[in-house]
């Protein structure tokens, strides 16, 4: 083996023994704010939903607007509507676009695929 061969062999040996050939796994946390940039279409969809629910265009969804949306658009009545409204608002009487985005970002449903939602290609 020539001089170049020994150099290449030595470099390969160093990389292999030092663990450089192993795949490194990192835990990276993405924030809701960063995800807005990465998922522009998703954020735009949330903005459209918010706009549809914000009847007075004040920039926030109040309890009257969410009640109206659940009754009229989602056809919910009685205790189911009240339960969902309380879950939706919590202690916040005014839901902004970013509030709605953060709730979506933190939800398990955000990771559902088409099979889970039931949207199979025909």
CATH for 93: 1.10.238
**How big is the chain, counted in residues?**
122
In a domain, 3, yes or no: no
pLDDT at 6 over 80: no
Indicate yes or no: pTM above 0.95. Answer: no
What's the domain range around 77?
33-110
pLDDT per residue as tens digits for the range 41-82 = 999 999 999 999 999 999 999 999 998 888 888 888 888 888
pLDDT of residue 119: 61
Long-range contacts of 50-54 (CB under 8 A, 24+ apart): 50/95, 50/96, 50/97, 50/100
Q: What is the domain count for the chain?
A: 1
96 confidence band (pLDDT: 50, 70, 90): very high
């Amino acid at each position: 083996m020539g001089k170049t061969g020994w150099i290449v062999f030595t470099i390969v040996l160093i990389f292999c023994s030092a663990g450089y050939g192993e795949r490194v796994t990192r835990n990276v946390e993405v924030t809701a704010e960063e995800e807005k940039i990465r998922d522009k279409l998703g954020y735009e969809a949330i903005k459209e939903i918010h706009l549809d629910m914000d009847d007075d265009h004040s920039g926030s969804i109040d309890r009257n607007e969410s009640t109206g949306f659940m009754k009229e658009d989602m056809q919910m009545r009685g205790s189911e509507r009240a339960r969902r409204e309380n879950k939706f608002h919590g202690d916040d009487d005014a839901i902004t676009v970013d509030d709605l985005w953060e709730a979506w970002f933190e939800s398990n449903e955000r990771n559902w695929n088409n099979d889970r939602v039931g949207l199979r290609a025909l």
